[in-house]
Structure formats: structure tokens, C-alpha cells
Amino acid sequence: MSFFIFIVSLLMGCGGSSSDDEDVSTMPTNLEIEAIMKGVDDSNPNGDGSGEVLFVFSAKNADSYKLSLGDGEIIETSSTSLNYTYTGAGLKTFQVFISAYNGANYISESIQVSIKINTGLVWSDEFNSNGAPNSSNWTYDLGAGGWGNNEAQTYTKETANVIVEGGFLKIIAKADGNGGYTSARLKSQGLQSFKYGRVEVKAKLPVSQGTWPAIWMLGDSFSNVGWPRCGEIDIMEQTGGDKGRTLGTLHWWNNANSSNASYGTNTTVENATSEFHIYSLEWNENSLRIFVDDVEFFVMNSSADFPFNDKFFMILNVSMGGTLGGNIPNDFNQSTMEIDYVRVYQ
């Protein structure tokens, strides 16, 4: 278990009795607070998702404390520490007020805590077993034909294009030596699908121009109603021409005017091709939000009119060329998307 400590240097606040004959020796002084989040490390600067925070506090001349924890909870204690678990999902910020009491006299200060909260891990693939991806989690789309976007690759399930090794899933787009390209497209269709929650994928993206990596979801109704009526959630797409930016997009069918509809935006991601980043979706019946490293850059409200109230399955792929891949360099050899894990919390 690792911890991170927020230390706040505090000045004495005002409070308590204002009587002229007040005994100032009974006023609490020097209130200090620490907020210690569970599980912080370089990859998880806002905690491990448990929502656990240990508050440690002290003041001279104090015999009790009151904590207003920022989520509506108020706790009184004579102890100088409190372990508290926040609930919810995503990166949440709480303004916590702590008062130190001696009788009717008190001083108060506050601390702001930004903590990552996941309500419960319901499914994950950590890619810890070398070889082919786990067949209980993943199957494949196979073949060529442009896939509706004029893409240049042929999808295979060969180890040259998809393999788990060293704790990572690797999807490798390659030149085939004959003017074509091969790659892989994994999907959890028919195996794992989800309605609402938080989806996290930790990934390092391919560096080569012309590659179009994607982390996305389609509705389980895809086989029956097709695209876009089934709904599409693009948690991460990266164009072939801009490797320092990723996109978040939703696609659906607009019943009002009988046409395809979409909404998307993008964000800068430094070192997306040389470092791992966490691409995540928070999804409930009212909205869909997309984040990179817990920083929100996309939000769209939802309702019963949208197809985002049913189960969706995961897709992981790297395509070549096409609508977002663009021009493929003549000297392209191969480029890889590495995925550390896929996790779903509900």
C-alpha cells in the first residue's frame, strides 16, 4: 500500500465566543491537517480508485474536532485522525472543513482533496499471460474491404499482428511486403458487454504517420439494427497526421430527421506515442464523459432518445490510412499500440 500526503500550513481561524472576559488560554491554536490518499504512485496521482483518505489533524488546546467532508457528511470526533471512504465514480474534488474545539471556542480551516473513485471493478483484462489474448474476453474482426472508411489494412489474428507479452497487449500494424498492410481488431462482442460505469484503458499509441488507433465501443444491438442505430462510443481515436492529439466522439441515429448524427471534440496528449496514458469513459443514463489521465475534455448529455442506454462491447484496433489515418508513408514498416489493461467499474 502506498500513500501520498497533502500537508497544509494553516493559520488560526476565527470562531467561538466573543465575550469580553473570554479566557484566551482555552482557544485552540495551530490547527494542522494532512490528507493521505490511499494508493498514490506515479501512475495514480489521485489514488488507487478506492476512494480512501486518511485525515490527520491536530491543534493546541483542542479536545474535539468536527469534519465537514464535502459530500454532505459531517463527523464529530475526539480523535486526531479519521479514515474516510468517498463513493461515486471518476475524479472528484471535495472541499473539507475541519474545526478544532475547546468547549464553545473553536478555529476552522479547510483542505481541498481531489481523489479518484471507482465504485467496484466488475471486469478487467490485465494482459498478464503471454501468448494470444484471452479467448474468454476477446474475439476478432477479420479481413479487408475498407471497413466503411477506405482503410488499407487486412485484419488478422496472427501473432505478427496481435500478441500478449511482458504484461501488455500489442496490436501491430505492418507492411506486408507486397504494397499492403496487416493489423488486428479485437472485440469483446458476445463475450463481455456493459451498461454504464467507468471504462479505463491504459495505452501507448503507435508513433507512425498513417496509423489510426482506436479504443471504442458499439452497442450490443449492432448485429440486429446496424450502425449507427446501435450507437458508437469512441473513447480514444488518434489521426494518422497528428500524434499529439486524441479525439472523443459519439455516433448515433437521429430519429427526428432520419440521419446519422455525431458529436466529438479533441484534446492534446503529450508523449502519447512514448508514454502510457489512461483513456477513460464515465457513462450513466444522463451523460457520457471522456477523460485523458482523469482530465475531462468531452461531455454529452443523454436521454431515452439516444442508444446509449443499452449494453456496449469493447473494440481495440489499429487501422491504416482511410478517413482518419490519412496518407501512409512510403517507408512505413510497422507501428504498435500497447495496452497495459482494460478495466470496467460499476
Query: DSSP 3-state assignment of 304?
Result: coil
Q: Is 237 a catalytic residue?
A: yes
How far is residue 172's CA from residue 320's CA, in Å, rounded to a whole number? 11
**Where would I find the H helices in 265-330?**
322-325
Tell me the Ramachandran region of residue 12: left when phi exceeds 0, alpha when psi lies from -120 to 50, beta otherwise: beta
Query: DSSP 3-state assignment of 223?
Result: helix
Q: Which of 232, 275, 285, 296 is catalytic?
A: 232
Closest CA to 335 of 208, 154, 166: 208
Q: Which of 109, 237, 282, 338 is catalytic?
A: 237
DSSP code of residue 322: H
| DSSP character string of 224-271 | HH-TTTT-EEEEEE--SS-TTEEEEEEEEEETTTTEEEEEEEEEE-TT
| DSSP character string of 159-183 | TTTEEEETTEEEEEEEE-SSS-EEE
Query: DSSP 3-state assignment of 146?
Result: helix
Closest CA to 173 of 132, 224, 214, 136: 214
Rg (CA), the chain: 25
CB 241 within 8 A of CB 326: yes
Q: Which residues are catalytic?
A: 232, 237
